Every structure is written in C-alpha cells, then in structure tokens.
Amino acid sequence: MAQFSDPADAGSDVPSTAVEQARAAAVETAGSPDLVGEHLGATPEAPSAVPVGEDLGEVVTHSFASRLPGYVGWYWAVTLARVPGEEQVTVDEVVLLPGEQALLAPAWVPWHERLRPGDLSVGDVLPSTEDDPRLVPGYTTDDDSADDPEGSVVASEVGLGRERVMSREGREETAARWSAGEFGPRSAMARQAPGPCGTCGFFLPLAGSLRHGFGACGNVYAPADGRVVTVDYGCGAHSQATLAADDATEVVRSARYDTGTFDVLSD
C-alpha cells in the first residue's frame, strides 16, 4: 500500500487537505498525469462506532475528473485513511467511478430473457434451462407433477421416451398465448365467422390435455390451415357455411350509382 508521510501533512486534518497526495495516487493508477483532471472535491466517510474519547482517525475520499478516453463523465475516487492514534496517511483505495452524466452500457440481460418469438433462425440452437418452469421430468411421478393428473398422463405416454414434458404452468402459458393470438376467439376473423372451429369438419383436435380447447385446421382454403386454433375460433371456410341463393335477387353485372343526391349532367 502506498504511504504518504510528509511531516508537513501530518496531523488529524491530513486526509481533508492532502489533495496532492491523492492526485499522485490517481496518476499512479491511471498511468499518466494527463489522464487525471481537476480536483472535484473531498467527501468524509462515516467513521465506525468507537468508544467515546478515543481517536476516530479519518477517512476521506478525494474525487478527480477523468480524462481517460471513452470515460466521459467518470471520475477518479481516491480514499485516504489515517489509522487512529497515527499521523501517517495511507492510500486505502483508488477506483474509477461513473458520475451522474457518465455514459454506461445497458444493464446485462440473460439471453433467455432477451429472446423473443421469431428470433430463432436456421441453424440456431436454443437449449432449455434445467430450471425451466414450463417443463417437468417425464420419467418420474414423485416430482412437482405428482399432483398434476394431466401432467402424469403426458409423462406416461408410451414409446416417446421423452425425458421432460410440459408442466401445468407450461401448458397454461401456452393455452393463454394461443387464445390471445391470431387464431383465438377475439381475432377479427373469428368474430365474423359463421361458426366456431369446434363444429367444423376440418377441425383436428389435439391429443392430450389440450384437446378440449385446441386443434389444428385442415382446410387448405382456410387462413389457419396447418395452424393451431382454439375451438371457438372460426373463419368463412367453415364446413357448415352455406350461401343460399335467393331467386329474387338480381345479379348486378354493371356499376350502379345512387343519383338521389346529385344531378346528372349530360353533354
């Protein structure tokens, strides 16, 4: 640890007045006096609780502007300390800290929290974490899925040999996402449909615990062909949709205009 023992600076007020000593410590750490700017101030550090009447010593942090390239708004913080009962001042710590106007990198976010639907491209690998709440072990019945009958059914599927299957939380999250999506009951297409998918001949129910709420569309002409849809979704390609022709309805073969609100002028 660097020491400053100049007799001229000895005494109980050394840390608060030893600007040059603190600057020398900052220059030593920075590697060049050009990287240490003006003195910004000194801040006394709160002393620890000691018996009344004893020497508290002193701990003061001096701040110097940083001229280090790429560190705009940062400052050098040099902490000087005097041990109780001693006159010698020592350098406790020299660090480079961000100020209020400092440019900082965004907070680091784990990859599994940054990932969004659609980010996975050809050749990418997306491993699931060991503690993924959407999955539970598929080879045991004494884990978290023991009180989940639907999870037990999925876990005991014959011939699949899957180590993990979806947990109840995972299935509920999936069901909520699908229901709120493009092929859910609140979509514009579903609100104008002649009937729900649950009554459509092209509806293929899913197997397992989600079969009562979801299925796949098998109508090549439907916008949801090959997609998972809710039983209460619907579209105009419903198998029971009919367009009954009215014999009295005139088939308009040319453009017609309502002339009741304007006059037709001829040449």
DSSP string covering 192-241? T-SS-GGG-TTEEEPSGGGTTTEEEE--TTSTTBTSEEETT---TT-TT-
Burial of 121 (0-12, 13-18, 19+ CB in 10 A): exposed
| pLDDT at residue number 229 | 96
The Cβ of residue 147 has, within 10 Å, a number of other Cβ atoms equal to 8
Condensed to tens digits (0 to 9), the pLDDT of residues 103-139 reads 888 888 887 778 887 787 777 777 777 888 888 877 6
Ranges of the chain with pLDDT below 70:
1-17, 46-57, 139-161, 243-267
pLDDT at 48: 52
**Three-state secondary structure along 100-136?**
CCCCCCCCCCCHHHHCCCCCCCCCCCCCCCCCCCCEE
One-letter amino acid for residue 120 of the chain = L
Strand pairing report for 89-98 and 3-4: antiparallel
State pLDDT tens for residues 3-45: 333 333 333 444 445 789 999 999 999 999 999 999 999 888 8
- Residue 246: CB partners within 8 Å, gap ≥ 6? none
Strands 3-4 and 203-205, how do they pair?
unpaired
Residue type at 80 in one-letter notation = L
The pLDDT assigned to 262 comes to: 56
pTM for the whole structure: 0.48
Domain segments of the chain: what residues?
3-47+55-98, 129-167, 180-230
3-class SS at 80?
strand
